[in-house]
Amino acid sequence: MLPAGLHGAAREAALRALIDDLLTGSDLKRPVLWHYSPMFRPATRGRACAAIVYDCMDELANFRFAPPELRIYEHELIAAADVMFTGGHSLYEAKRKLHHAIHAFPSAVDHVHFQTARSLAGRTGAETPRLGFYGVIDERLDLGLLDELARARPDWEIEIVGPLAKISPDDLPRRPNITYPGRQSYADLPKWLARWDVALMPFALNDSTRFISPTKTPEYLSGGCPVVSTAITDVMRTYGDLEGVRIAARDEFVDACDAALALRRRPSLAGATRPTP
């Protein structure tokens, strides 16, 4: 991890030093340079390698506070790459003409890890309904939608789990039935899933979410939790036909959560939430 506040040439020098330290004394004379972000390109430029890979997980240039030079570095990286992957189908469709060897590489899931939520002491259906989300809390979430959900159903508990990024704590909706437990370990995520009747994906529909393919979708489903999501393209395309996934417009979100709660109480839930292989 780089120290905070590094920019430009200082950041590139620090990245180069980290890569040099990693390769010093190793047998990797010609490594595969696998880039998850174009911002690494200045640190790998000119380095001997067996191949260059660009693994484009998101349209990072659309995220809040994206560095202005990111698009320049991405153009250079695409030109240098031997192969390119995208983190979802919509991102592939947006970039497929930019590289001769580009492949959609959508989210996978550690099913064994997340299915443990099904065997943990879970919900009986008799308690106060509890709904939850885990992930980074940033500009991609529709905070107004969360506030409306909590206001419309004050008898529901809503847990928003994860670290805050690029927004202020003052931006978060504050109601008695919303809690923010903060960052949790990956190992503990199934325990949180086991607490919930319904898993939420209340994403805003904006430039930063246009091409996202949330990994949490198959994770939630592996844990046996029905999902309610806003109309994210890759979620609709891959999971929209599952009974255990409800896609809802902003003004339909509360009703979709009601329907998911009713599904949760059905004995046949396991089949309804089984993720696509």
Average pLDDT per 10 consecutive residues for the chain, totaling 277 residues: 76 88 84 95 93 96 91 97 97 97 94 95 73 97 98 98 96 98 98 96 96 95 96 96 96 98 77 52
Look up residue 233 and give its DSSP letter: H
Cβ partners under 8 Å of residue 250, min gap 6: 142, 145, 148, 230
The residue type of 136 is V
Residue 8's pLDDT is 80
pLDDT in tens, 136-177: 999 999 999 999 999 999 999 999 999 999 999 999 999 999
Please give the CATH topology (third level) of the domain spanning 111-272: Rossmann fold (3.40.50)
Helix (H, G, I), strand (E, B) or coil at 227: strand
Whole-model pTM: value is: 0.87
Look up residue 247 and give its DSSP letter: E
Residue 19 to residue 24: CA distance in whole angstroms: 9
Of the candidates 195, 15, 217, 246, the one whose C-alpha atom is nearest the C-alpha of residue 109 is: 217
Contact 199, 133 (CB under 8 A): yes
Residue 12's pLDDT is 87
The tokens for 218 are 């198959």
Domain with CATH 3.40.50.2000 in the chain: 111-272
Residue 272's pLDDT is 56
Residue 164 to residue 156: CA distance in whole angstroms: 23
